[in-house]
Amino acid sequence: MNARKLATIAALPLLAIAATVRADITSDLQTPDDQTTFDNSANLYSLAWRHAIDKYTTLYIDYAMTDNHADAHYDLGAGGHGVTTDCHDSTPMAAFDPTTGGVTNTGPHCFSGGRLQGVSAGVAFKF
């Protein structure tokens, strides 16, 4: 089983008493593999702004971009930034058909490479 290696750099400067900005760069280093030469590494860049209106209410804006290398297929997802995609593109699963002796369908397909971006904005209220 191959283990992935991660390297992260983060900065969290204080802009004012009520506002913060955070910048992160995470590099997912290529999976060690003596069998292939695939470049399945990726980089995640994120930027977050928070502004506390009072002790209960905070405004926020977050931006994230996943920059996949040629053979990587990471995605931005609801479970957190940088989750691995499950390769489902709505193409039916390939399966052996015993009635014909052949294989039906061709999926699912993984779309490797690419640059995915997302923005999230809102209000967080603690009660």
- 95 vs 56, more confident: 56
pLDDT for 24: 83
Q: Say what the pLDDT of residue 77 is.
A: 61
Tens-place pLDDT, residues 1-40: 445 556 666 665 555 567 788 888 888 766 666 666 777 7
Whether the predicted model's global pTM rises above the 0.75 cut: no
Cα separation, 74 vs 22, in Å, equals: 22
Distance (Å, whole) CA 48 – CA 119:
10
Does the bond joining 32 to the residue before it have cis omega, within 30 degrees of 0? no
The separation between the first and the last C-alpha atoms of the chain, rounded to the nearest angstrom, is 45
